[in-house]
Structure 1
Amino acid sequence: MPAARESLLDAAYTALARRPWSAVRMVDVAASAGVSRQTLYNEFGSKDGLARALVRREADGYLAGVERALAGSGEAGDRLTAAIEWTATVARENALVRAMLTGCWTERLPAPPLTAVSSTTTVPAQRRADGPLPAPHDFVRIVRDRAVTALAGPGAAPADAAELLRSCELVVRLALSCVAAPPAEGGTAELVRAVLPRHLV
């Protein structure tokens, strides 16, 4: 029931924007999504399951945006700048993404454990949500590796690959610093140019 699942996640996200997670009621989420409370429990199992699924969905959405930025046209520096700007924008607009990237969870947010939880569900999407959730260091590694894959040319020498890996990690860590302290207009591109190897700028 993918459509019902997405509607329930949308309803939970909207409810979270209005009140702390502790005050979000399952019955209200189901009513807002236009489905029965039983459907909600069939999909997620519990409120904790709903929280895990919501966090997983927002993590996936963030990473999909990173992929789009890295796949764009332009030079390596332009694409990395787009990925940093996406990171800063989505973290500013989405409290769950900000918490996942920084590890700073407020009492307003659900804070599911990042380790896998025991799952008996038959819903494949929920089994995935019940698996390990990414921590800030996981995001650094995932985004860094995706940037290297997107930017590495065919037949790159091992020394070039190692330099690219270091540079992409620096760029990802810059992105995280931009979440906490956004640079001035145009400052993101300057930061990227400062850390990229000269031949990629």
Structure 2
Amino acid sequence: MPAARDSLLEAAGAAVSARPWPAVRMVDVAAAAGVSRQTLYNEFGGKAGLGRALVRREAEWYLAGVDRALAGPAPAPARLAEVADWTVRAAGARPLVRALLTGAWTAALPAQRSAAGPGELLVAVRDRAVAALGPGGARPEHCELVVRLALSYVVAPVNGPRPRDLFRDLFRDLLGASG
């Protein structure tokens, strides 16, 4: 039941945004999704399975945003700046994405056991950027630097210009000097 699964994950995501994971009740998630509690258990096996699926879904959501930021004809520095901006915005908007990117898990979030850690996500973003930008677009270490700098904004946010505006010029200078 793909539609039920998606509805349940949407409902679980809304629930974990509103209250700590330990306070999320399966009966409430099922009701919010418009399905029976038995359907939820059939789909995920239990609360731990639902939590793992929700964490995986958040990682996929973040990486889909990375792909969108990398798509298009803009020069490499602009696309890398969009990845940095997306990373900061996604982590600010979604606690699970923030935890996935930083490794800072709290008791308010589902357990992280089966999810990719920050290192795996960083490698995934780096590899996607290298592939999207093509030969001569950017070196792998430059693509990795994008995410590492964006994560500094996630961990220590500051008021001021958006990361995209700051990073665009930095990446243009970096890529111009290397290539």
What TM-score comes out, normalization by structure 1 length?
Answer: 0.81
| 1:4-50 deviation per Cα after TM superposition (whole angstroms, max 9, x unaligned) | 11110111111111111001010111011110011000100010000
- Quote the Cα distance in structure 2 between the aligned partners of 1:81 and 1:149: 16
What's the offset of the Cα at 1:145?
Answer: 0.7
The residue identity in structure 2 corresponding to 1:135 is G
Paired residue secondary structure (2:110): coil
The residue identity in structure 1 corresponding to 2:88 is A
* Structure showing greater Rg: 1
What's the offset of the Cα at 1:176?
Answer: 1.5
Q: Is the 8 A contact 1:140 1:169 kept in 2?
A: yes
Deviating more after overlay: 182-191 vs 89-98: 182-191
| 1:148-195 deviation per Cα after TM superposition (whole angstroms, max 9, x unaligned) | 111123xx5xxxx8x711211112211211222346312232332343
State the match for 1:188 in structure 2.
Answer: 167
Q: Is the 8 A contact 1:170 1:195 kept in 2?
A: no
RMSD, matched Cα:
1.8
Q: Is the 8 A contact 1:87 1:176 kept in 2?
A: yes
Please list, as runs of the form range in 1=range in 2, the aligned pairs for 1:4-153 lying within 5 A after superposition: 4-114=4-114, 133-153=115-135
What TM-score comes out, normalization by structure 2 length?
Answer: 0.91
C-alpha spacing 1:181/1:188, structure 2 compared with 1 (3 Å) = farther
What's the offset of the Cα at 1:63?
Answer: 0.1
Equivalences, count: 175
Q: Is the 8 A contact 1:171 1:195 kept in 2?
A: no
Q: Is the 8 A contact 1:67 1:146 kept in 2?
A: yes
What's the offset of the Cα at 1:199?
Answer: 6.0
C-alpha spacing 1:111/1:191, structure 2 compared with 1 (3 Å) = farther
Are 1:177 and 2:152 counterparts?
Answer: yes
Q: Is the 8 A contact 2:77 2:169 kept in 1?
A: no
Structure 2 spans left out of the alignment, 5+ residues? none
Paired residue secondary structure (2:113): coil
What's the offset of the Cα at 1:57?
Answer: 0.5
Identity %: 57
| 1:101-131 deviation per Cα after TM superposition (whole angstroms, max 9, x unaligned) | 00001221112313xxxxxxxxxxxxxxxxx
- Quote the Cα distance in structure 2 between the aligned partners of 1:192 and 1:175: 12
- Quote the Cα distance in structure 2 between the aligned partners of 1:152 and 1:106: 38
C-alpha spacing 1:196/1:111, structure 2 compared with 1 (3 Å) = farther
